[in-house]
Amino acid sequence: MLRRSSLLLTLLCVPLPGLGLAVGCGHTVIVDDPSVGGTGGEAGSPRGPDGWGGGGADAGEDPLDEYIDPGCPDAGPPITDFQCDPYDQASGSCGPGEGCFIYVQYPREPCGQEIYGAYCALAGSGGQGDPCGGGEGCGAGFTCVVTGAGTQCVALCALDGDDSCDPGFVCEPIDVQGIGGCL
């Protein structure tokens, strides 16, 4: 039997063709399922023997009713750390053989903010549509994203104005706020 939280995790982590990105989905949902080492579910536990809060799946209780809003304050402006310009790879802000690569650092605490940025690193040889990850790197001006066709290098593009994507590609938002990828 598939538990509701497992189903939710599966639905949120399936990359959708055309959206181009499912990076970070493992941090999106916390699975509280005792069969995968979660808490609760033991006899006498406040969650009950089925892991869902008391009387079992037939009791009519919705496990999502247990959600408690952490009461986060309104988020301030985005936190950024751009050490180089990812749109201007020829500016000389990175050393020879390096490229300016974007990143997002997800918060560890429930009310934390993401940090968006770019840093200089050794450039790979991957271009548009080439596989990446697992030791294979993208070239300068590209980033590695999860697409409907696997993990691929995609060209960076500006979300506003001239997107500079090759014919057949559309500039779509990716995880780093304000930056797009040609998908």
Q: Read off the pLDDT of residues 4-13 as tens digits, 9 standing for 90 and up.
A: 333 233 233 3
Grade residue 178 by pLDDT with cuts at 50, 70 and 90.
Answer: confident
Residues in the chain, total: 183
pLDDT, tens digit, for every residue of 1-35?
Answer: 333 333 233 233 333 333 333 333 333 333 333 33
- Let me know: does 90 contact 162? Beta carbons within 8 Å: no
Q: Is the pTM of this model over 0.85?
A: no
